[in-house]
Structure 1
Amino acid sequence: MRKVFPVISRSLSHVCSLKPYKETKWLMPNGNPTGAYIYNCVADQKVPVILNDPHIATWYSCGPTVYDSAHIGHASCYVKLDIIQRIIKSFLNIKLVTAMGITDIDDKIIKKGLETKTHFQNIAKQYEHEFWLDMSSLNIEKPLIITRVSEHINSIESFVQKLIDTEMAYVTMDGSVYFDTTKYPSYGKLQRAQTEGEAANEEKRNKTDFALWKGHKPDEPSWNVKWGKGRPGWHIECSAMVSKVFGSQIDFHAGGIDLQFPHHENEEAQSCAYHNTRQWANYWIHVGHLHVKGDTKMSKSLKNTISIPELLKSHSADVFRMACLTSSYRYPMEYSSEVMKTAEEVLNKFKFFLKDAFIYVNNNAVSNGDYKDKILDDLQKIEEANIEALKNDFNTAVCINNLLTLVSNANKVIRLDTSEYYPVPIVLIAEYVTDMLTKFGLKLQESAQDSVLSNSLIDTLVEFRHTVRLNALSRKDKEVLQACDIVRDKMKKMKVQINDSNKTSSWVSVK
């Protein structure tokens, strides 16, 4: 029997200020605490992540309705969810079984098919294929399981029929089926139901009742079921598909913040009713919207969207991911030239450091290396702080700031104008930074068109310019220094950014 939150086991007694059950309605799962905490909208606070199996967790993401191209508002959601999944797997050492539902039958798909005189399935296949290409271009890992609504009609029919049989749902004259929210006392536990301004519907018993099945209409695709022809409602799709794959309970259920109500609220209600349980999804994860400058949500209805291929013409996938990493997944994220420029600068700081560290370790120093305990102590403190940040609702922004501090301190050592030489600490820091960033899903690769020859030529040019610049600095030759600056600026226009220091110069490719 599960405990009603906030009844706390002895190992979790440090959690405080938890709201009483009447307000939260969140049940603490029995099982194995992971040491991580995540915000839960039902409890309206961070709660401990507890899994039935200490090494395995289930995850379902609401996927796209494939009637049109995805835009970067969708991309920011899926990139952030991808980051969280990577954290769970790489830092919490949990085997995560991921599934995503594809809505391939919907009002918008039907409308697009009628407008273009194309079968709805062809519309859906075209945009789903495009969606996966977009996700791949952003280095988003594909879910292990993909479910499509049109392939699970039998499961949906069986799900709806059980709700009818238990009188949790009712059939109307037009062959539609509605969930009776008055039969489910906990309706509104994710978010209070909004009924003001809702259009009247004579078929519904109550304003908050929602469609499980839509009765057949002319010119629309339909399936024959026990209570008549029609097609699934939006919310029932995910519940039926998740139940088929994961059974009566799921650990993590994720999507954009706009899905909290009514979609996720309705999913939780009908799934609890179907499985006769008080809690279906243990942890709801909602990602904040992407806003364009001016605090306006990016959406197709506002016609302010930017396609993913269009984004990648101006910025790399790594730069966009860095922008996501430096913001909280739960809150709105702004998309602007300033935000993207900052993300690129942060990314380049790491790239420059990794190149500089390689040069430093492989230099021609004649002195013997030392360990420098202070540097190693700083590294250990950052490692521990980052693990704590990730366990605290996946706080990647703190991690990135910690890494920048670590890199800044390491750069001071690299640029010391002394005979002291500390290759081991610098190598360990470089390895740690690389490991962290790649586990977050950054590729840290130069652009594909860079060949070994072009890299070698750039290395030669940068090295030559560095020698000339140092000589000019020692002679205070302003004319030659200005010429060096011109070379640097021209190289940047050619997507090569040079970083100068007293000891070395390094470069990275930029968009």
Structure 2
Amino acid sequence: MRKLFPVISRRLSHVCSLKPYKETKWLMPNGNPTGAYIYNCVANQKVPVILNDPHIATWYSCGPTVYDSAHIGHASCYVKLDIIQRILKSFFNIKLVTAMGMTDIDDKIIKKAVETKTHFANVAKQYEHEFWIDMASLNVEKPLIITRVSEHISTIEHFIKKLIDSEMAYVTFDGSVYFDTSKYPAYGKLQKMQPEGEASNEEKRNKMDFALWKAEKPDEPSWTASWGQGRPGWHIECSAMVTKLFGTQLDFHAGGIDLQFPHHENEEAQSCAFHNTRQWANYWIHVGHLHVKGDAKMSKSLQNTISIPSLLEKYSADVFRMACLTSNYRYQMEYNDEMMKTAEEVLNKFKFFLKDASNYVNNNAPGSGDYKDKILSDLQRIEEANIEALKSDFDTASCISNLLTLVSNANRIIKLNKTDYYPVPIVLIADYITSVLTRLGLKLQDNQDSILSDSVVDTLVEFRHAVRSNALKRKDKEMLQACDVVRDKLKSIKIQINDSNQTSSWVSVK
């Protein structure tokens, strides 16, 4: 395995002796291979996931800056990260220690506080509370640890002081602190950028130097540090909080693709400098943006956002998650009604199959069951193919495609074969599909707001099926049209019927 990837010795040396980024390679961790591979931006290829402990991994996600409501661009990022976390935990049996940092001190929060004449802490609390409600509505699991910048000021101050003492950072005349990128030649390894050119202002020594501490400004919150009054810069916050939790090295660090530079680049640089190591985060996970019509990124600045409650008025959380599952987490996803309708159709194919499978297994037709080895072989083949897909950079799109193939094969047995009866393989397929989809975070629950109970709908659908079957035999067009009217009426109240020769099933749709 080591021959496949560029590896540098794990022997540590002072950061000042690091080679420029052109020669900086991803360092393969020592430890236990999980069998999974993940794309790494430093290596620019998929690399093996290797953990110090084969069953425990650390994970940190950059959380929101809580100055406003979240939108579905944020939702797509956190849903996709939730899917990856669930795969690591449920398919690879890794105990994932998840943490998320909440930026509750920031220029935008302070601006909102001034505009609304509210204390900045109350602004942050309001929108953080709203964020967690939105995430729960999307079935995104809450991290085990939540860190807030306002609660870790002393940790951040200690981190900065060590960088100043090691001359990796410097204090300016106004009391701000900057990281000296010229002292860290590996700067730019995440996105291949070199620290060069004139400084953009007289306080900075180099163009790419970034603020660790911002000097106090009038009417803004500030804290006392040994070098002066002020508040933390954005990048230092995550590094300090992660170090407090996980020590000198982190397994997974995740966020949107827009965070790769400068945020994650700066985190890696200052953390390597602080810990005197060549590699801080072993695996960077970056999620592609959600785009809207016209290839524009969804963002508040472009005023093209859709709120999460607005999304859920039109589509269920399961439909949105299915849209995320059928795309690649690393690439942009375009949001439109066509894409969402396709995701809804895919979801309904699974829900219809599960209903049909239950009806098939519990039918009262005469005869006895058989195992049908070919169906069981198809199931085993799909199970193996899905594990390989998930091992290859969490390829959920292939996994969903494989499940649809399995449904198609099983439906041939359920709907087209009138004589043979194979309850065991059909119920095993249904159980496997349910297991995979729920482990990926789908609830597969019907709309609880339906005005009709399940039992009433079951009775109505069964009655309609009997009438329709009789009308088909007699070629009674008027009766068939009446059955179509019933079908359309039910669809108008979010009940969708799937007809077949053997039976009719239904699901509740958003």
Bin for the TM-score computed over the shorter chain: over 0.9
Contact 2:461 2:504 in 1 (8 A): yes
On the 8 A contact 2:40/2:285 being kept in 1, the answer is: yes
Flag the 1:403–1:270 CA change in 2: closer, same or farther, 3 A: same
Distance 1:248 1:197 in 2: 32
C-alpha distance in 2 between matches for 1:101 and 1:441: 22
Q: TM-score, normalised by structure 1?
A: 0.95
- Post-superposition CA distance 1:151-208 (Å, at most 9, x none): 0000000000000000000000111000000000100000133889998211000000
Query: For residue 295 of structure 1, what is the amino acid of its counterpart?
Result: D
Structure 2 counterpart SS, 1:61: strand
State the superposition RMSD in angstroms: 1.8
Post-superposition Cα deviations, 1:70-129, rounded to whole Å, max 9, x if no partner, equal 000000000000000000000111000000000000000000001111000000000000
Aligned to 2:145: 145
Number of the residue aligned with 1:15: none
Aligned-partner Cα distance in 2 for 1:275–1:3 = 28
Matched-pair contact (CA < 8 Å) for 1:4–1:28: no
Task: Tell me what 2:72 maps to.
Answer: 72
User: Secondary structure, in 3 states, of the residue corresponding to 1:447?
Assistant: coil
Tell me the distance in 1 between the aligned counterparts of 2:234 and 2:55: 33
Q: 1:64 to 1:201 in 2, by over 3 A?
A: same
- Aligned twin of 1:12: none
- Output aligned runs, 1:45-444, within 5 Å: 45-193=45-193, 200-444=200-444
The aligned amino acid for 1:38 is I
User: What residue identity is the alignment partner of 1:446?
Assistant: D
**1:437 is paired with a residue of what secondary structure?**
helix
Q: Deviations over 1:240-264 (max 9, x none)?
A: 0000000000000000000000000
Distance 1:371 1:128, change over 3 A: same
- Structure 1 match to 2:462: 463
Aligned residues: 498
Letter in 2 for 1:273: A
Would you say the 8 A contact 2:415–2:500 is kept in 1? Answer: yes
The question of 1:42 aligning with 2:42 is answered yes
The structural deviation recorded for 1:435 is 0.0
In structure 2, C-alpha distance between the alignment counterparts of 1:344 and 1:69, rounded to whole Å:
26
Q: Secondary structure at the match of 2:490?
A: helix
Equivalent positions of 1:444-483 (< 5 A) are 444-450=444-450, 454-483=453-482
After TM superposition, the structure 1 stretch with the greater mean CA deviation from structure 2, 160-169 or 196-205, is 196-205
Q: Measured at CA, do residues 192 and 472 of structure 1 come closer, stay the same or move farther in structure 2, by a change above 3 Å?
A: same
- Would the aligned equivalents of 2:199 and 2:206 in 1 still touch at CA under 8 Å? no
Distance 1:275 1:196, change over 3 A: closer
Q: Which amino acid is 1:175 matched to?
A: G
Whether contact under 8 Å (1:4, 1:27) holds in the other structure is no
Residue identity opposite 2:185 in structure 1: P
Cα distance in 2 for partners of 1:256, 1:194 equals: 22
Structure 1 residues 7 and 172: alpha-carbon distance in aligned structure 2, compared to 1, 3 A threshold: closer
Q: Conserved in 2, the CA contact under 8 Å of 1:177 and 1:213?
A: yes
Tell me if 1:505 matches 2:504: yes
Which secondary structure does the structure 2 equivalent of 1:253 belong to?
strand
Identical amino acids, percent of aligned pairs:
82
Structure 1 residues 331, 362: CA separation in 2 closer, same or farther (over 3 Å shift)? same
> Which residue identity lines up with residue 466 of structure 2 in the other structure?
T
How far apart, in 2, do the equivalents of 1:246 and 1:57 lie?
A: 10
Which amino acid in 2 is paired with 1:454?
A: S
- Structure 1 residues 509 and 464, CA, compared in 2 at 3 Å: closer, same or farther? same
CA distance in 2: counterparts of 1:8 and 1:222, whole angstroms: 42
Structure 1 match to 2:14 = none
Provide the C-alpha distance between the structure 2 equivalents of 1:332 and 1:261, rounded to a whole number of angstroms.
17
